[in-house]
């Protein structure tokens, strides 16, 4: 691991991330728990080990960049930023409230630590490409990590962006596909089948890895491997995940894409996530 943290430490952080996600969405009475929980382990690994960032200097020019292209999953990002003390933890209680730094979708002008405003799907990866290209042109060492959804990958712009990353040999870009197999209306296979995403990333010129996006060892191993790989290609990690992961009644349920848990559901959910992930 980049900072020599233990896998156990990151698993603990993932629990804190999940409890924070649920708390903020429950209090806001709206938000997107499913896709936030599916990417919680990935973001915990990024924010508590892999990313080279400074919470006390969010705009540090040599920092690694993070782009949440699937912007509706921002509770997971806000949770990481809150736990890293980019802003006081108490801010989580203001999610989606008037005047809050924690808008319904990420706003870089309001919230420290947000590298680009996102929310309209399919657009963040292009911005990540621009950031990675700037690093190359300026001979800077920072890297850019971008989390993309599988539903989001219906958008053609995602593939335009990957072609550009390959053309400009952006080996400082890591695309992470949160493949939770569900989207807003239904399961992806019904709405718009993604087919073989590994083959697609490879065909578009990416050095592609495939992992279980909830096994912390696999996530950190993938990051280790990427750091050790000499290539001119951009990296893609296809992370197989479960929407709503960690809360039994939310897992793999389309309906939990964009609704908040009520008081009773929240209490059960918090108890479950505090126990950590149950292996499948």
Partner 1 sequence: MQIRDGKPTREAYGKAMLELAANDSNIYVVDCDIGKSCKTVPFSQQFPNQHVNVGIAEQNALGVGAGLATTGKIPFVTTYAVFGSMRMLEQIRQEVCYPQLNVKIACSHGGFTPANDGASHQGIEDIGIFRTIPNMTIVAPADYESAFELVKAAAKYDGPVYLRFTRDAVPSIYKSDDKFEIGKAVELNKGSDVTIICTGDILSKGVLATQQLEKEGISVKLLDMHTVKPLDKEAVLKAIKETKAIVTVEDHNIINGLGSAVAEVVAETGGCKFKRIGIQDQFGESAPYEHLLAKNGITVENIVDTCKKML
- State how far the alpha carbon of 98 is from the alpha carbons of 94, 95, 231, in Å: 8, 9, 46
For the CB of residue 227, give the shortest distance to partner 1 in the complex, in Å. 22
For the CB of residue 58, give the shortest distance to partner 1 in the complex, in Å. 12
C-alpha span between 146 and 168 (Å, rounded): 17
For the CB of residue 276, give the shortest distance to partner 1 in the complex, in Å. 36
C-alpha span between 234 and 219 (Å, rounded): 17
Nearer of residues 133 and 175 to partner 1, judged by Cβ: 133
For the CB of residue 135, give the shortest distance to partner 1 in the complex, in Å. 8
C-alpha span between 104 and 119 (Å, rounded): 9
- Residue 139 backbone class (left: φ over 0; alpha: ψ -120 to 50; beta: rest): left
Nearer of residues 156 and 193 to partner 1, judged by Cβ: 156
Contact 198, 238 (CB under 8 A): yes
C-alpha span between 149 and 74 (Å, rounded): 12
For the CB of residue 41, give the shortest distance to partner 1 in the complex, in Å. 26
Nearer of residues 137 and 195 to partner 1, judged by Cβ: 137
CB-based contacts of 118, cutoff 8 Å, min separation 6: 67, 68, 69, 70, 71, 105, 106, 124, 127
C-alpha span between 132 and 126 (Å, rounded): 10
Q: What is the CA radius of gyration of the chain?
A: 17
Nearer of residues 130 and 258 to partner 1, judged by Cβ: 130
For the CB of residue 226, give the shortest distance to partner 1 in the complex, in Å. 20
List alpha helices for 29-139, DSSP H: 33-38, 40-45, 74-83, 124-137
Q: Point out which residues bind partner 1 (CB under 8 A).
A: 61, 65, 107-109, 115-120, 122-135, 137-138, 156-157, 160-161, 163-164, 167-168
Q: What is the largest CA-CA distance in the chain?
A: 53
Nearer of residues 61 and 98 to partner 1, judged by Cβ: 61
Buried/exposed 67-89: b ≥16 CB within 10 Å, e otherwise: bbbbbbbbbbbbbbbbbbebbee
For residue 5, the number of C-alpha atoms closer than 13 Å in the C-beta half-sphere is 21
Nearer of residues 101 and 269 to partner 1, judged by Cβ: 101
Nearer of residues 115 and 272 to partner 1, judged by Cβ: 115
Nearer of residues 40 and 148 to partner 1, judged by Cβ: 148
For the CB of residue 205, give the shortest distance to partner 1 in the complex, in Å. 14
For the CB of residue 82, give the shortest distance to partner 1 in the complex, in Å. 21
């Amino acid at each position: 691991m980049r900072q020599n943290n233990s896998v156990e430490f990151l698993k603990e952080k993932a629990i804190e991330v999940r409890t924070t996600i649920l708390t903020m969405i429950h209090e806001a009475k709206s938000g997107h728990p499913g896709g936030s929980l599916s990417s919680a382990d990935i973001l915990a690994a990024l924010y508590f080990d892999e990313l080279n960032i400074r919470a006390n200097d969010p705009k540090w020019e040599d920092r690694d960049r993070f782009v949440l292209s699937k912007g509706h999953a921002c509770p997971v990002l806000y949770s990481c930023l809150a736990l890293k003390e980019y802003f006081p933890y108490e801010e989580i209680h203001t999610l989606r409230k008037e005047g809050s730094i924690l808008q319904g979708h990420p706003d870089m002008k309001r919230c420290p630590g947000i590298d680009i405003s996102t929310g309209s799907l399919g657009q963040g990866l292009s911005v990540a490409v621009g950031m990675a290209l700037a690093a190359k042109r300026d001979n800077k060492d920072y890297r850019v990590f971008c989390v993309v959804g599988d539903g989001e990958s219906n958008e053609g712009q995602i593939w335009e962006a990957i072609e550009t990353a390959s053309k400009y040999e952006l080996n400082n870009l890591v695309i992470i596909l949160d493949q939770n197999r569900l989207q807003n209306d239904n399961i992806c296979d019904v709405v718009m089948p993604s087919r073989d995403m590994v083959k697609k990333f490879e065909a578009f010129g990416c050095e592609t890895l495939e992992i279980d996006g909830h096994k912390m060892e696999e996530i950190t191993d993938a990051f280790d491997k990427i750091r050790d790989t000499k290539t001119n290609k951009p990296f893609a990690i296809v992370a197989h995940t479960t929407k709503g992961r960690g809360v039994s009644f939310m897992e793999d349920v389309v309906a939990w894409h964009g609704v908040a848990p009520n008081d009773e559901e929240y209490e059960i959910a918090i108890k479950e996530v505090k126990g950590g992930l149950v292996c499948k």
